[in-house]
Structure 1
């Protein structure tokens, strides 16, 4: 068993990439059970500072079934779905949020926690914090159309895979993802990043729309693609925090993902690899 959760994966890897130069915080909820204690211990081992609320429900679990390069996920997010606005504003949480430069939210967070998610989105806008949002799953884009549209438009960095983005376009009556991404950017500093597995990454920013060919990785080295997207976001955000251009951020995202998928589960290699410059 390994610690999971999309955002937790991303934060653990981001801290690992930075060699401790970046401080990361995880906000969420766990149950008062052995799995909750395990998760807290493992996430903090990666030097991510946790701000968990404890709930009277089991800590979420996910099982990943892997056969060759095919993967199927089944999950129950459990206690994390009970996170409230009161939890967010408890103790010194808001002080911590005021001190950070970027806030990252996964699409799964809006399920049953929409008021909290909107509170965070509004906080970012009011306090001029960079807000990164990940579509995460096509069914979320479809089931929460209005909410997703709001978060998509409010984000400074938008992540999604091609299937998720096609669903987003369909919801909004669009048929060309580059044109739609340009419409979302609309002359701002917003970045839109669309992944497609081992195929090209499409990315749009104010100055240009471009694509990046994912480097080839030998099939024999691919062990488990669980967390590939989470680790891509880690590499991208690390580049963003280093003020790299968008293509370098995408390149670093791909390199990070290719490191992580060579292990079972989202594990951190002992040594941080060197990015290609």
Structure 2
């Protein structure tokens, strides 16, 4: 299936809108999570005081730019797509780290930093020996993103607008989200959404269902997220519920690979095992990046899924959500160039 004919006069392949976050990765043990009353594999929101207290309780942390949509856009830029990101940081040291990292990856990032208010968002990610990650997020300056801050000229010129579900925790950003989606659709683009996190889905299930039914062309979710969205008893029931809701639905299933739904078709994509599993942070983000790279280049859905699976397979072999291996070279080595 070729997508080339769907897109005309689009300067960008993908523009993403999301929380601009610096990740602080900490390798720890289950006992630490228990001591801090943290549920393994969850994502919880912190206020500034809680974030400072938790950060003060760790001895070492690896700082790297993160944020779900930002990870996806950085991956797309590495792959060679023309991509851009919209998200708010503060004019502080973490804001400088985020800005430098996403621009050095090759993505267009022009959102001006906030000169006052909360600090740049950060996410404390505790990685246990089983490679599971538990995330504690302070949204900080990212909550300042509003419709008036959007560069809608970029949104009008993109083939795909990519949105992260985490924005739904943020009323002002939610309004920006909908405004951008409507602008993109009116200009002939497609709107993609990542559900982001099953706990996020539980907080906003009804509005997510409305969003999926009325605004989204391409949906990304993992097994637990899609089951949570439809309150299904298993993946099969969730698939029956989501089928035909969007033009394309891509469901990641960890070591089992992924499933792609489009019209009456179901495609099962095998996983890529690129090495020892170290950290699952960013696996879904890089899957979406690889998939959208293929999609906007006119590849068929099976190849889109395979590229996504390859990128996800690589990112879980390292600590952090920005690939330390050039993704373009990875494609060539695996006969995708």
Question: Is the pair's TM-score, using the shorter chain for normalization, greater than 0.5?
Answer: yes
Which residue in the other structure is 1:97 paired with?
155
Runs of 4 or more, structure 1, over 3 Å off, are 215-218
Q: What is the Cα deviation at residue 158 of structure 1?
A: 0.2
The 3 A distance-change label for structure 1 pair 71 and 139 is closer
Residue 217 of structure 1: CA displacement? 4.6
Tell me, yes or no, if the aligned pair for 1:203 and 1:211 is still in contact at 8 Å: yes
Conservation of the 8 A alpha-carbon contact between 2:155 and 2:180: no
1:209 to 254, 260, 266: 266
Is 1:148–2:208 an aligned residue pair? yes
Kept in 2, the 8 Å contact 1:133–1:151? The answer is no
Could you say which residue in structure 2 is the equivalent of 1:166?
A: 227
The answer as to 2:305 corresponding to 1:244 is no
Q: CA deviation at 1:109?
A: 1.4
Which whole-Å CA distance do the structure 1 matches of 2:113 and 2:83 have between them? 20
In structure 2, what is the Cα distance between the partners aligned to 1:267 and 1:28?
17
For residues 204 and 79 of structure 1, do their structure 2 counterparts lie closer, same or farther at Cα, with a shift above 3 Å needed?
same
Structure number with greater CO (CA < 8 Å, separation at least 6) is 2
Query: How far apart, CA to CA, are the structure 2 residues paired with 1:77 and 1:276?
Result: 40
Larger CA deviation: 232-241 vs 61-70: 61-70
Give me the whole-angstrom Cα distance separating, in 2, the residues matched to 1:202 and 1:214. Answer: 11
- 2:99 is equivalent to residue 44 of structure 1: no
Q: How does 1:114-129 map to 2 (within 5 A)?
A: 114-129=174-189
Q: TM-score, normalised by structure 1?
A: 0.88
What is the match of residue 132 of structure 1?
192
Q: For residues 221-232 of structure 1, what are the structure 2 equivalents within 5 Å?
A: 221-232=276-287
> In the alignment, which of 215, 222, 234 is matched to residue 289 of structure 2?
234
Root-mean-square deviation over aligned CA pairs: 1.9
- Which of 137, 142, 165 lines up with 1:107 in the alignment? 165
Structure 2 runs not aligned, ≥5 long:
1-62
Q: 2:84 aligns with which of 19, 22, 25?
A: 25
Q: Which residue in the other structure is 1:12 paired with?
A: 74
Cα deviations by residue, 1:110-164 (Å, 9 ceiling, x for unpaired): 2222211111121122222111101011122222223211221221110001111
TM-score by length of 2: 0.73
